[in-house]
Each structure stands twice: as structure tokens, then as C-alpha cells.
A and B are shown apart, each in its own frame.
Chain A
């Protein structure tokens, strides 16, 4: 159990275009989902926290107009990178947890590698 999927697993886009990444909890209801960004050989940096039906809470320094997050259902959250630029190239990972779960009981998706040319 506790499987989280991400789609696509990798994407290449041109500078100036937008890219949408989906995160789905396949076998549990994810009241909270987290979006992380990870550069090569570096740690996971939390970008935002989204609760189903509410606006996402962004970490300091993360542009909410650039990284649009929607958590419309208990099994789906999306991250849209708008007007992508090469510096947005990174590994984006989502995680999900149910409402009663402890913070460490997050289940991670396999990640999406974004390359902006």
C-alpha cells in the first residue's frame, strides 16, 4: 500500500512554455501533499504544502505565481511550472500523507525530471 505516482517521469520543454506535473496517491486519501525540488547531489527542498480544497502554502523564496499548485481532490495534486526557464530545470518530487499520519509518514512519488532548453 501507500503508493504515490507522478506523471510525467521526465519532460523536456522550451523556455517560456508551461509544464504540468501530476502527483497521485493510488491507494489512500492524501489530505496533504508536499512538493519538493532537488538539484543533483543535494537535499530535498520543500517548495510548498497543499491541503485538499485549500490554497497551497509556499515556502519562503518560492514564487507562487510561477509554481502553481492545485490540490483539487484527495488523490491528485498538480504542480504547473509557468513560463519555464533553464534555471527551473530540476528534479521535482511530490509526497503525500493522510490526515492522521505523522509528518514522517509521507510517501514519495518517483519524481519528475524537468529539463528546460
Chain B
């Protein structure tokens, strides 16, 4: 089967850096993606890694190590508006372009 594990909660202060880890088990790997969701809102796409290494997009970066079945989302210069849930996801190996989501990490940013 497929599964993803990520911490349930992370707390940080404004201006800090936080890393949200995601480990996955999948029979076929096609890439790791990250989504942000504010309470009551729609998930929004943040990043996608198909190859090993770091992808940087502004204050957010995402890293992947396929040999370790591990990735992380790095958020820098944290702002209050970054308080949200963050989900990692992998495509379902059975096809149909479906995504399997992790349980999500709730990030609380404090002043």
C-alpha cells in the first residue's frame, strides 16, 4: 500500500524557520508535492519534487531524497499568515492521476 507520515503539529515564532518532514511508502514513486490549507479554505499547491534535491520558491523550499523516501517543506521568515495545515502528497501508484495525502501538519506561528 501507500502511506505518508508527517508530524501532526508544529509551533514557531514569526521570523523563524520551520521544517515539516514527510516520509512515504509507495510501490511506485512519481514525485512528492506539498499543499497549504487554511482553516475552512481550499488546499493550494506549493511545490513538487520529482528528483532529489532542493526546490526553492520564495520563502518556501521543498527537498526530496528518493533513496530515503523522505522529503521536507522548509518555510523561512515565518509570517502569521503562514499558520495553516500543510499536506504532503504522492500520486497513487495505481494510476488515474489520483493523489494520496498525508495526515497534515498544523503550523501555528506566534508573535
Contacts and interface: CB of A to CB of B under 8 A. Distances in A.
Interface of A: 4, 32, 34, 41-46, 49, 57, 91, 93, 95, 97, 101-111, 113
Contacts, number: 63
A106 B45 CA distance: 8
B42 A106 contact: no
30 contacts: A32-B96, A34-B99, A41-B85, A41-B104, A42-B104, A43-B101, A43-B102, A46-B99, A46-B100, A49-B98, A91-B40, A93-B43, A97-B97, A101-B97, A102-B31, A102-B91, A102-B97, A103-B30, A103-B91, A103-B92, A103-B98, A103-B99, A104-B48, A104-B89, A104-B91, A104-B99, A108-B42, A108-B44, A109-B42, A111-B42
Contact of A44 (B45, B48, B87, B106): B87
B45 A105 contact: yes
Interface of B: 30-31, 33, 40-45, 48, 85, 87, 89, 91-92, 96-104, 106
Contact of B106 (A34, A41, A45, A113): A41
